[in-house]
Amino acid sequence: MSSIDTRQKLIYGDGALQKASLTYKNAQTGREVTLPVQFNPTEYSISRGLRFKNNAGHGEESHPENTQAADSELANLRVSLILDTSTYMPEYQTPKGLSKYLNDDKELTKICQDISLIMKMNAENHEQSLVTFSWGSMAFYGHITSLSISYQMFNLNGMPVRAKLDMEIEGEDKSILNVIGANPHESPDRTKYRRLNQREELWMLADAEYHDVSCWKEIARENGILNPRKIDYTKRLKVPAL
């Protein structure tokens, strides 16, 4: 066996190909439904954002050291899926659960309709249309915020037989959610320095840093503040690790 073959076997293995899937809860029946992916995507991207607020005092120029994280935004998953019911592949193993669509006259149309209905459930049935896109060790959990379906091939009756689905899901990887769930209000692990503006108070800083407004006393004690209503906004405050 060549070195290339050995390397490919180490990367890809020699077992069965694991298929991606989209899972959601049916709002009418309450049952969990899994839509198997016919072809695995060639790629997917996950983006995350963090918003900062400027704590520069009155008359001061903005500076990176005068900013602090306000809150983190949900992650955004972008993925494109190809559905093709026109190509005959004798060696292709149909994912379990997909055959009910492929044996139907409206095959691909029903798949796209089921996925489209996920976005309608929240507005029409007042239920959260939470979904999970799973592939390998990744399971992304959240809401479908954007869905674009391009029908690219049709049969003699005008029924679509090939479609491309561009999908965006706003949420987070379940592995990260598990970590956050284990430590939802973890205190800072190191001392920080923050500057308040004239519209902020110590309890606001305590809430932002410790998720506990009562911890303003710890900040006041650390900075020698006797009266929380009289703060020197020109100085940076020491935020101790608890």
Give residue limits of the domains in the chain: 10-181, 185-239
**Which residue type, as a one-letter code, is found at position 174?**
K
* Amino acid at the residue 191: T
User: Range with the lowest mean pLDDT among 97-101, 107-111, 126-130?
Assistant: 97-101
Contact yes or no for 173/146 (Cβ under 8 A): no
The rounded distance, in Å, linking the Cα atoms of 8 and 239 is 51
Q: Which helix (H) or strand (E) holds 180?
A: helix 174-182
**Distance from C-alpha of 55 to C-alpha of 196, rounded to nearest angstrom:** 6
Q: Are strands 75-84 and 160-173 parallel, antiparallel or unpaired?
A: antiparallel
pLDDT, residue 164, reads 93
Mean of pLDDT over the chain: 76
Question: Taking 60 as the threshold, does the pLDDT of residue 16 lie above it?
Answer: yes
Geometric angle at alpha carbon 81, from 16 and 39, rounded to 5°: 25
- Tell me the pLDDT band of 101, cut-offs 50, 70 and 90: very low
Q: CA angle, corner 160, sides to 156 and 166, nearest 5?
A: 160
**Can you tell me which residue has the tokens 């996920």?**
118
d(CA 20, CA 135): 4
Host H or E run for residue 220: helix 216-222
pLDDT at 92: 45
Phi-psi map region of 233: left, alpha, beta (phi>0 left; psi -120 to 50 alpha): alpha
More confident residue, 233 or 149: 149
Measured between alpha carbons, how far is 59 from 164 in angstroms, rounded to an integer? 54
Q: Which residues contact 94 (CB under 8 A, 6 or more apart)?
A: 38, 102
The pLDDT value given to residue 46: 96
pLDDT surpassing 70 at residue 10: no
Q: What is the pTM of this model?
A: 0.60
Q: Specify the CATH number of the domain 185-239.
A: 3.10.350
134 closest CA partner among 80, 84, 177, 173:
173
Average the pLDDT over each of 65-69, 113-117, 132-136 and give the range with the smallest value.
65-69
pLDDT tens profile 39-94? 889 999 999 988 777 766 555 666 666 666 666 778 999 999 888 877 644 444 45
Q: pLDDT digit string (tens) for 191-227?
A: 777 878 777 888 888 888 887 888 899 999 989 998 8
Cross-strand bridge partners of residue 190? none
